[in-house]
Each structure stands twice: as C-alpha cells, then as structure tokens.
A and B are shown apart, each in its own frame.
Chain A
Amino acid sequence: MNRLLMLTASAYRSKAVQVMQQTFQLLFPVILLGSSAEVLKFVFLTASGYVATIFNVTHWLPFDRELSVLMGTIYHCTLGMAGLYGAYGVSYFTVKVYRRQSSPSAGLIGLLAFLMIAFQPRGGGRIAFNPSLMTEGLLVGMLVGYVCGRILCAFKNRRTDLWETMWRLTLIFALAVSVNLLISELRRAGSLSVLAISGPTSTSGDSLSFVLMMGALTELLSWIGIGGPFTASPTFTDPASIANLNHALKAGSPWNVPHPYTDTTLFHSFANFGGNGVMLALMIAILIFSKRANSRTVTKWSIFPALFNSHYAMMVGIPVLFNPIFLLPFTLVPVINMTIAAMLLALHWLPAAVYPVPAGTPGPLIAFLGTNGNWISLLLGIGLIALDVLMYAPFIKLAESVQKSAGELK
C-alpha cells in the first residue's frame, strides 16, 4: 500500500502531471466564470430555466434579454471554447516544464494549431469552427497543446534563428491542417460518432442494465472531458419519457409507469447532483474532510454553479479531470446511487420521476419535482448525498496524502 502511494506520488511529480496541474490552475478562473455565466443565462435568464420558471424572473427583471445576451457572450467565449485555452495552457507549460524556461510564443503556437484543427471552411467568407471541438474539446485541445509543446522542445532553442522558428511553425501547422482534413474526412464518412467527440446526444433506453452502463460511460467520458451519452439536464423528449408522462397524466399519479428505469428516473433524479459524479457530494466531503486550503477555496467558489448542476469549475479546480485517484468514485458513486434508486423503484417504495422539470433544477429536487412532490424521493436524495459524502471521504484523504508525499502540500 505504501509502495503504491509512493508510486502515485512519483507519478504526481512527473512532468506531464505538472503541466496538467499548472494548466488547470490557469484555466480555473476562466472555467468558473464561464460556468457561472452559463448558469445565469440558462437557469436565471431563460424562460425555461429553473429559477426563471419558479420566480418568473423574465417577467419582472428589467433588461433581462440584454443580461442574457451578455451572459451568453461570456459563456460562449469561456466554457464554450475550453479546448482553445487548454491547447494554449498545455503548450505553454509543456515548454516551460520540459525546458525550464518560459517561452510566450509556445502558448500562441498551441492555440493556433488548435484553431487550425477546429476550422471549418464555409462559403461567403464566414469563419466557423467545429462546434463540438470548441465546447467538448478540452481533451483534444490539451493533446494538441502537448504535441506542439513537445515538438517545440525537440529542437534546439536558438531564438535569433528566424529560419529555425519558421521551420518549426511550418511543421506544426502542416500537422494541424492534416488533422483537420482527417477529421472532416471522418465526419464525411460518418465514423466520428465512434470517437464520441460529436457532443452529447440524448439516449433513450429503459432496461436497467443499459441505463447503468450508459450512466457509467457518461461519467467515464466526463472524467476525460468529453460529453457522454446522457445530457447534463433531463430533456423529457425521448419516447420513454413521453410514454411515462402520458401514463402519469392519464392515471393522475406517477406510480406504475411503463418505463421505470430511464436516464430521467435514475441518472438525472439520483446520480447527477451538482453535475456528473455526484459533484455536490464531493464538494461537501471536501468542505468537511479536506485540510488543504486551496481545495476548500476552490470548492467554495464552485458552489454556485454546482447548485444548478454545472460541475466544470470543480473538474479543473480540484482537479478531478484526468485525476486517477478520483476515477473510481467518480464513476462508481453515481452507479451505486442509481442501483439503490432502481431497487426502491422495483419495490414500489418510490414513484418514478415523470413530470418535466425546468433546466438547471438543483439535483436533489429533480426527483422531488419530477414526482410532483413525493417526500420519499426528496429524503432518498438527501440520504444518497450523505452516503456519497462518506464514499468520497477516503479518496480525498488519499489524494491529500499523495500530494503530501509528492511534497506539494502547501
């Protein structure tokens, strides 16, 4: 066990991990801002959002449209382009860590390479970029940045030599353009969906094992910064949800619906509190158990977006993204939640969440409102959070002892 700890600690000291951590530190404020703006726009200022629906915000707030446009701009330019900043940060810090000297042009080159990959030619002189790469492309962006950084490091650094600089740039950009062509070729062939970078799509399926597997897959993909098969918010537009809703409206109650096990009734109702991986439980666990001041500060700042199921700030702030220590609880805790909820649904202790809830409804309230106020659902949600906090606690302690061994505890 101790050897494993030392091994992890030494991995923590590795250069790639250092690059990642420094990049996440750079990204955190940007992501936090974007995540908060996203919540303000879609939950507070859009008529179908939770707060807007409950408190009728769009009716009495002056300039709500203008505010919404403003928040939309902030969101699209920050969280909506996370891949861009990932490429910049990783490229810059790769050169810095591997070379031990900072080179401002490295970040710029990484960013340019990513833009070249995401660029999509359009008619009429309009500029367009691959939308799924921009929003879901943090992983791709960081890979691009890493490759750029390593290529830049591979050459001897003679700054004065313009010839050499141009030669490096040409190589990187030629690579980027070929990746761009490859992606458009794959897109044309329709095989891009296999790579799962085509963004989140709502999936409907109602067999229990299918929902559990898709839930686990969503968490896994979310852990590497890609949207999984389940969307962050329940959509209520898939056939199973509509059948459930029709049944409930006809019968006048959400009991005995035809499809009790769907992404809405299990994943969104009981496994997505605060975003993927039951982020709310991780945050409470950190506030209770963590001794690391930095983690506590990050968590406090991330509370606001996480209340409305936007978990991105925590993903890069702690970080959870690409962090092997959190991989296990991040994928397993939601599956445990779904299993417990499915058992209670099967025993008819719980009705299924069938009524549509507004976008951004706080996680524990989705089941409560989705059943039109079933108190057992609310209590189960609270109970599950408490259980999840306990499950996360040892991993937080593990993460901190690893960081301590790695000599990074500040």
Chain B
Amino acid sequence: MTWQKKHWLVALISVVMVVAVIVVSLQWSRKNVSQLAQRHNSTIVPLIMIPGSSATENRFDSLVKALNVNRRNPHSLLKIRVAKSDQLTFSGQIRPRDHAPIVVVGFENNHDGYSNIKNQARQFNIAFKALNERLSFSRFEVVGHSNGGLIFTVFLEKDYAQYAPEIQVTKLMTIGSPFNFNERNINNKTQMLSDFIKNRKKLPTNLNVYSVAGTQNYTSDGIVPLTSVMASRYIFQGQVKHFTTMTVSGSDAQHSDLPQNHQIVNLINHYMLTAKRRHLVQPNEPELH
C-alpha cells in the first residue's frame, strides 16, 4: 500500500514538474524567437547610391573612400552597371557580416531628360530586384546625386509599391537633385514635377528625406538652381515622416563637386549609415559530447 502511494506521489510530482518546465520553456522560446526575428529584420541595411547624368557606377568611389577613412570595419562597395539592354554587371563584393554595405547602381544610358529618367527608374527596378535576391535585406537607404535623386523618386512612386510591406526604405538623401530641372520659378512646373506632385500619395509614410543643396552663390550651385532643389518640398513635405532641407556652401559646393564635399560626407556619415549593428546569434556552445 505504502509502496503504491509512494509511486503515485512520485508520478504526480513528476507530471507537475514536467508541465511547469514546459510552460516556462515555452515562454522563454516565444520571447527568444521574437528577439531573434527583431534582430534578423535589422541585419543588413544596404546604402544604395545612384549617380547623376553623364556619370558611371564609379562616380562615388572617392566618396566611399572618404566615408571609410578611419573606420575599423569599412563599408564594402558593390557596383551594378545596367547596360542599355537591361543586362546587369556586378563588380566589387560585399564582405561577409558587413551590415551596411554600399551599393552603387550606374546606367550605361546616362543621358538627361524626363523620358530617360523614367527609363532609368525602370532599369533601377531590375537592378533592385536582383540585389534583393542576392542580399535579401528588409531595409535599405538611398543617396541620390543630381538625377539619381529623381530616378529614385520615380521608382518610389511607381515600382516600390510591389516591395512595400517586406522591404522598407527608411532614409533618402538627395544631393543637388533638380526636381524642377533648370526652372528658376516654382510657378513654372515641369511635366516631371507635376507628375511627382500628382503621385506623391504613393510615397512611403515612414521615410526620412534629406534634400541637400549646394550653393556657389545665393541662387544656384553653378548648374542647378536652388529653387529647383527646394521644389522637393512640394513632393515630400507633409507626406513622408520627416523632410529636412540643407544648404551647403564654401569649397566643393559646385554641383559636380558635391559628392566629394566634406560637409556632405559628414552629413552622410551622420544621417545615413546609422543602422544599429547586429548582435550575433549566440552559437550554442560549449557542446555536450
């Protein structure tokens, strides 16, 4: 009798303990997996750079070099060249575990003009799709110089919607982008600016936009009028999360020098490339054997 009682007691205690352990383990597991997912979603955040007209995918080489000065783990540089036939050529490579690589997308057909910008935006979409297949990122940032900013704005208003929930663009910096081409008067809206404003509701609402203008005098950076750069406020302001305009002056503030401008390098370092570094998933060691 006592033998049986003892056995029942042991069985009861074991069952209670097992249930308790399962419940506690499950709680831990739920917490752990949600943490893992959070970390995973912030793993790789590429910074995509798009050069302006008449420039190639090598346009930002010196800018990337300047960004990497005194960095213990420099940003790696991947370049994608889109040929006229839409064919992609990759050069450079991304270091394993580089969480903020820089990707430059250059176009063989790099002429000016609205129709060509629309074509480049279509080509950018092809490059973007291929890039995401390679890196499978869930967040990215963009720097566009001159027409590069326009190309990306077209992409944002047209093709970006198909990626929208899974892949988020968090930051966009346009540098000397002529949103109203060479028009000095904002009342003379070009076809492109009218289209941008018409479709502005398609812009993502969680985007931070920095519109940077260079100035050689009070009205222009030598090529693009200040009013054309500032026309960006009619597109972004009130639609995206934050919209900031900045004007730089002094040496290297001419339109084509802007990517090498020290202040702009500092701005990129300060506002872009600030995604938090990933914590490694703790490998399960030491092992029992």
- A-side residues, CB < 8 A to B, are 38-39, 42-43, 46, 48, 53-55, 135-136, 199-200, 227, 231-237, 245-246, 249-250, 252, 308-310, 355-362, 365, 368-369, 372-373, 378
Give Cα distance in the complex from A231 to B284, angstroms.
12
Q: Closest approach, in angstroms, between the C-beta of A42 and any C-beta of chain B?
A: 6
Contact (Cβ within 8 A) A54 B37: no
Stretch in contact with the other chain, from B22-30, B58-66, B172-180: B22-30
Chain A contacts of B41 at CB under 8 A? 249
Known contacts A53-B28, A250-B40, A357 near B284 by CB under 8 Å? yes
Contact (Cβ within 8 A) A54 B287: no
Q: Closest approach, in angstroms, between the C-beta of B33 and any C-beta of chain A?
A: 5
Contact (Cβ within 8 A) B30 A249: no
Using a CB-CB cutoff of 8 Å, which residues 76-129 of chain B contact chain A?
A: none
Is chain A's binding surface mostly helix, strand, loop or mixed?
Answer: loop
Closest to A35 in B: B288
16 extra interchain contacts, Cβ-Cβ under 8 A, other than A53-B28, A358-B284?
A42-B288, A46-B286, A54-B28, A135-B289, A232-B289, A309-B288, A310-B288, A355-B29, A356-B36, A356-B282, A359-B284, A365-B25, A372-B29, A372-B33, A373-B26, A373-B29
Total A-B residue contacts, Cβ distance less than 8 Å: 91
Q: Choose from A55, A135, A235, A309 the contact partner of B285 (Cβ within 8 Å).
A: A235
B54 at the interface (CB under 8 A from A): no
Using a CB-CB cutoff of 8 Å, which residues 15-39 of chain B contact chain A?
A: 21-22, 24-26, 28-30, 32-33, 36-37
Chain A contacts of B26 at CB under 8 A? 368-369, 373
Contact (Cβ within 8 A) A55 B24: yes
B220 at the interface (CB under 8 A from A): no
Q: Choose from A227, A236, A378 the contact partner of B289 (Cβ within 8 Å).
A: A227
Give Cα distance in the complex from A52 to B162, angstroms.
45
Q: Closest approach, in angstroms, between the C-beta of A204 and any C-beta of chain B?
A: 14
Return the 5 tightest CB-CB contacts between A and B, nearest first.
A249-B40, A369-B29, A372-B33, A232-B288, A237-B283
Give Cα distance in the complex from A105 to B60, angstroms.
78
Closest to A354 in B: B33
Contact (Cβ within 8 A) B285 A359: yes
Q: Closest approach, in angstroms, between the C-beta of B108 and any C-beta of chain A?
A: 33
Give Cα distance in the complex from A236 to B33, angstroms.
14
Q: Choose from A199, A359, A372, A373 the contact partner of B288 (Cβ within 8 Å).
A: A359
Give Cα distance in the complex from A184 to B21, angstroms.
47
Q: Closest approach, in angstroms, between the C-beta of A185 and any C-beta of chain B?
A: 26
